[in-house]
Amino acid sequence: MEQHGAGDAALASITVAEVLHGFHRAVTPGQRAQREAFAQYLLAIFAVLPFDLEEARVHARIGAEMASKGVTVGAHDLIIAATAIAHDLQVATRDLRSFPRIPGLALLQW
């Protein structure tokens, strides 16, 4: 993260839900313990950005703009993007399929 200058990084609340979902879906006790430790680590070091009114406004605007052009991305990706745009932040990602299609979203290839 330091290599990318991501000292002020934060997580979208939907990202936390995705991480916790993975924790709850663990098959073995060892896997569950490892995933729980990872989730707790993330929650200890990163701020969590809520999805509130401003994020909802951005989500509605960019979702409608994309729909009018026939462009779709996953629902969670659109929430992550709206959260980042509302806070004037970049999304650090390896997903170069969905996120680059979202207008106004600044990306940091991870």
Give the separation between CA 8 and CA 108, rounded to whole angstroms: 13
Beta-strand ranges (E) seen in 1-110 are 10-12, 47-49, 90-93, 106-109
> What is the model's pLDDT at position 9?
87
What does pTM read for this prediction? Answer: 0.88
Q: Which CATH architecture has domain 2-109?
A: 3-Layer(aba) Sandwich (3.40)
> What is the model's pLDDT at position 8?
76
> What percent of the chain is modeled with pLDDT above 90?
87
Going by pLDDT thresholds of 50, 70 and 90, the confidence category of residue 7 is low
Cα 3–chain centre separation: 20
pLDDT score of 12 more than 80:
yes
What residues have CB less than 8 Å from 71, skipping those under 6 apart? 101
What residues have CB less than 8 Å from 65, skipping those under 6 apart? 103
Q: What's the whole-number average pLDDT of the chain?
A: 92
> What is the model's pLDDT at position 6?
52
Residue 38 in tokens: 């990872």
pLDDT score of 45 more than 70:
yes
